[in-house]
Amino acid sequence: MTGHDIHHATLSNGLTVLVETMPAVQSAAFSLLVPAGSAYDPVGQNGISNALADWITRGAGKMSSRELLSAFDRLGIQAHESSSLHHLAMGGSCLAENLPAALRLYGDVVKHPQFHEEDFEAVMAGVEQSLLGIEDEPRQKVMFELIRRCFSSPWGQPAEGTLADLENITPQVVREQFRRCVRPRGAILGIAGNVTLEQLLPVLEETYQDWTGENEIVLKTGDRGVYRDHLDHESTQTHIGVAYPAVPYGADNYYQAWAAVSVLSGGMSSRLFTEVREKRGLCYSVYASLSSSKDEGQVLCYAGTTVERAQETLDVMLKELNRLEEGIEEAELVRCKARAKSSLIMAQESTAGRAGSLARNWFHLNRVITLDEVRAKIEALTTQSVLDYVKSHPARDFTLLTIGPNPLQG
């Protein structure tokens, strides 16, 4: 048992607040999710959310960028800002006694960012360098591009942006996106540590009461990308990306989906590692992961190999994905559960991890899942329940993307 109390409140402006009290720690962490992620980037301007995540903390209220960073340092705040598919994410960790001051600083960030024009060039240079780094690393690029193809629009729109759209992103369009999206209604603030909701409510109401409005953009699902594609790249290696449909995070059988993928790729005894790399020596890297958003889910698979062995690598990968329907051994499920329990123990000890989980759970499920509930769901998994999921969601309708000298057949 965690022994942690979790409380929820909705502020007068619509901001959702979740607080998990962890009496055994001295720290506290917060995670603020604002519905302003890459899914909200207008067509032809993918990368706005990534630019906004950087620019928004370069000065706020009466403080310049340097003064704001100094304030973070004085309070010992380990701050972070990023863009994801659905959210502009801001947060940090500090001593519990410094959390009120940290929340006040971020009140200025979301309400009164300075958005100085002279900082914008450096912001966009950072966005461009990140994207060029992906271009230079085919192992990253194949998965980046696979996600763009296998998810429906806008759910496959990358948080990093795209190089082709950068020239369309100006200071004016980023400011306008801030005005339309960075609003409290629909935003979620998760807090975990040696604090209580009762202690924090007066600070939150005072700090955020004049932050008003809601996101003005309504997201609609559109077309997805192509099922088969190849990107030419002169190299001695071929990078293979394979995806097939799974379930969203909030699905009743999400944990069965997680366990199925863990059997495929949950460690050095997993099927893909054993069959593709260990027994046959076909590749230097192979894995699968479950990518589930609020709207769609996909299993994403990767293998990196030589040009000569690429087709055989793909053939064996697909064979293993299909073979999962034939049965799952008890020992495989036991190993999955052991790995999950280790992750849960580490998550229980991390205020940052818990703050992020609170906010993400509320977004996906409109409620909080305790660690005890997660543990119970994992313990309840059986080989039959996982197999039932696999048979109802078989490895079919593959999206295949390759990067290398030659396309593959699959």
268 has pLDDT over 90: no
Q: What is the pLDDT of residue 1?
A: 38
* 409 lies in some domain: no
CB atoms within 10 A of CB 7: 16
Question: What is the rounded average pLDDT of the residues 185-213?
Answer: 96
CA separation, residue 228 to residues 149, 150, 152, 317, 410 (Å): 9, 10, 15, 16, 9
How far is C-alpha 85 from the geometric centre of its chain's CA atoms? 7
Are residues 381 and 255 in contact, defined by beta-carbon separation less than 8 angstroms? yes
Q: Are 135 and 238 in the same domain?
A: no
User: Measured between alpha carbons, how far is 23 from 220 in angstroms, rounded to an integer?
Assistant: 43
| Total domains, the chain | 2
Question: What is the rounded average pLDDT of the residues 322-331?
Answer: 95
- Of 176, 208, 240, which marks where a domain is finished? 208
Q: What is the pLDDT of residue 340?
A: 87
* 215 lies in some domain: no
The first and second tokens of residue 205, run together, are: 């109401």
* 156 lies in some domain: yes
Q: Are 379 and 269 in the same domain?
A: yes
Q: Are 68 and 17 in the same domain?
A: yes
What's this model's pTM, rounded to 2 decimal places?
0.93
Q: Are 185 and 243 in the same domain?
A: no
Per-residue b/e over 165-180, b at no fewer than 16 CB within 10 Å? bbeebebeebeebbeb
349 has pLDDT over 90: no
- Of 208, 238, 268, which marks where a domain is finished? 208
* 309 lies in some domain: yes
Question: What is the rounded average pLDDT of the residues 121-137?
Answer: 96
Q: Are 247 and 200 in the same domain?
A: no
* 221 lies in some domain: no
405 has pLDDT over 60: yes
* 351 lies in some domain: yes
CATH (domain of 355): 3.30.830.10
Average pLDDT for the chain: 94
Place of tokens 């109802």: 392
Domain interval for residue 295? 228-404
Q: Are 246 and 366 in the same domain?
A: yes
Place of tokens 């119970």: 376
2 has pLDDT over 60: no
Question: What is the rounded average pLDDT of the residues 251-277?
Answer: 92
Confidence tier at 57 by pLDDT (50, 70, 90): very high
* 410 lies in some domain: no
Q: Are 176 and 28 in the same domain?
A: yes
* 214 lies in some domain: no
Q: Are 368 and 236 in the same domain?
A: yes
User: Measured between alpha carbons, how far is 316 from 196 in angstroms, rounded to an integer?
Assistant: 53
Question: What is the rounded average pLDDT of the residues 237-241?
Answer: 97
Q: Are 234 and 198 in the same domain?
A: no
Question: What is the rounded average pLDDT of the residues 378-407?
Answer: 97
Confidence tier at 3 by pLDDT (50, 70, 90): low
Closest CA to 388 of 332, 324, 331: 324
Q: What is the pLDDT of residue 347?
A: 65
Q: Are 151 and 271 in the same domain?
A: no
The first and second tokens of residue 70, run together, are: 């100094």
